[in-house]
Structure 1
Amino acid sequence: METKQYSLKLLKKQEADTVKKQCKMCGKVTIFTDTTIRRHNANGKNIYQFAIYKCPKNHSWNKKLDSYKSFTNHVDPATLVPSEFQAIEEGEKISLSVADHQSYEINIAGADGNFRLDRTLADYIEGWSRTEIAQRIKCGSILLNNCLTKPSQKLAVHDKISITIKK
């Protein structure tokens, strides 16, 4: 059985957000605007992601967005996602047909933000609804890292999605 391989880079669309809150430097309630700059801090076990906001007088405030578990075996990402994988571009959809291939593999080359397995596949696979994808995940024809999972599972960098289409 031939396996067709794809790589996917997931990026969250960033828009300037505003928050009304107390500025400690100005001493009054003011509007903070998201600069769309992100900062990461680490303490050994966790990595924290912050959004940097600025008030009209250029004072900054950091909003905590997410925290991730760090890992000890750091590797070069280029070695984990081979270059022969066909890259899926933003807005592009892939067509999975039984005639050409029965097995597909999608490797997550990058993930900036929180992405659900079922929603991501519905966005990138042509002709499949999110409900149909959720049923395929539950029955085991869609695996994440060669394991059964739930449709709401969050995707991370270097995850491998295996799709087997049964005739």
Structure 2
Amino acid sequence: MQIQQYSLVLQQQRKADSVKKQCKMCGKVTLFTDTTIRRHNANGKNIYQFAIYKCPENHSWNKKLDIYKTFSDHVDPASLVPTEFKAIEPGEKITINPIETIEIKILGVAGNFRLDCTLADHIEGWSRTEITNKIKAGNIRLNNCLTKPSKKLSVHDKILIDVN
């Protein structure tokens, strides 16, 4: 059995959107526009990501985007990703051979990415339904554990795909 190792950086495209909501400073319903600036707050165990929106009067509103676990600094990040991992470029798809096991290491995540959708975007010839069935059957594991297809990916996650 041969193991193919890949690394992946997930980057969500940012686009400015607008939301109508009550501005507490203006005292009326107004249009808030996304500045595409992101803010992070931490409480020790979790890191919260916020999008900063502004109204026409330059008042701000922070929309919570994501919550993820902190990563301990006592682990050397270079030791987590061996150099033999081949990087998957944006838009590139992996072709899977039936005699291989695939290991994908997530190096970076900017946005929300589901396990099943990410694999469907990066594996040639596999539909999202096929991938969902393989996850439920235990042929695709996240961090060596059974998981749900809708599981959100985080930095340093490891996806293991048993093709056999």
Is the TM-score greater than 0.5?
A: yes
| Deviation of the 1:120 alpha carbon | 0.9
Deviation at 1:29, TM superposition (A): 2.3
Rounded to whole Å, the distance in 2 between the matches of 1:138 and 1:27 is: 50
Cα deviations by residue, 1:35-70 (Å, 9 ceiling, x for unpaired): 111101112232211110011222211112222233
Q: Indicate the residue corresponding to 2:160 in structure 1.
A: 162
Alignment-mate amino acid for residue 84 of structure 1: E
Larger CA deviation: 56-65 vs 30-39: 56-65
Q: CA deviation at 1:87?
A: 0.9
Gaps (5+ residues) in structure 1? Answer: none
Aligned-pair Cα RMSD in Å = 1.8
Count the aligned residue pairs.
Answer: 164
1:61 maps onto 2:42 in alignment: no
Specify the alignment match of 2:128 in structure 1: 130
Alpha-carbon distance, 1:72 to partner: 4.4
After TM superposition, the structure 1 = structure 2 runs for residues 11-90 of structure 1, keeping only pairs within 5 Å, are: 11-72=11-72, 74-90=74-90
Letter in 2 for 1:79: S
Deviation at 1:111, TM superposition (A): 1.4
- Residue by residue, what CA displacement relative to the aligned partner does 1:116-156 show, whole Å, maximum 9, x if unpaired? 11111111000001111112222222121112222222211
TM-score (norm 1): 0.88
Aligned partner of 2:100 among 102, 105, 115: 102
Deviations 1:87-120 (A, max 9, x none): 111111111122xx51111111111222211111
Q: 1:150 aligns with which of 141, 148, 151?
A: 148
* Cα distance in 2 between the residues matched to 1:140 and 1:66: 27
Q: What percent identity do the matched residue pairs reach?
A: 72
**Structure 1: 4+ residue segments shifted above 6 A:** none
SS in 2 for 1:156: coil
Calculate the TM-score normalised by the size of structure 2: 0.89
Counterpart of 1:35, as a letter, is T
Between 32-41 and 134-143, report the one with greater CA deviation.
Answer: 134-143
User: Residue 4 of structure 1 aligns to a residue in which SS?
Assistant: strand
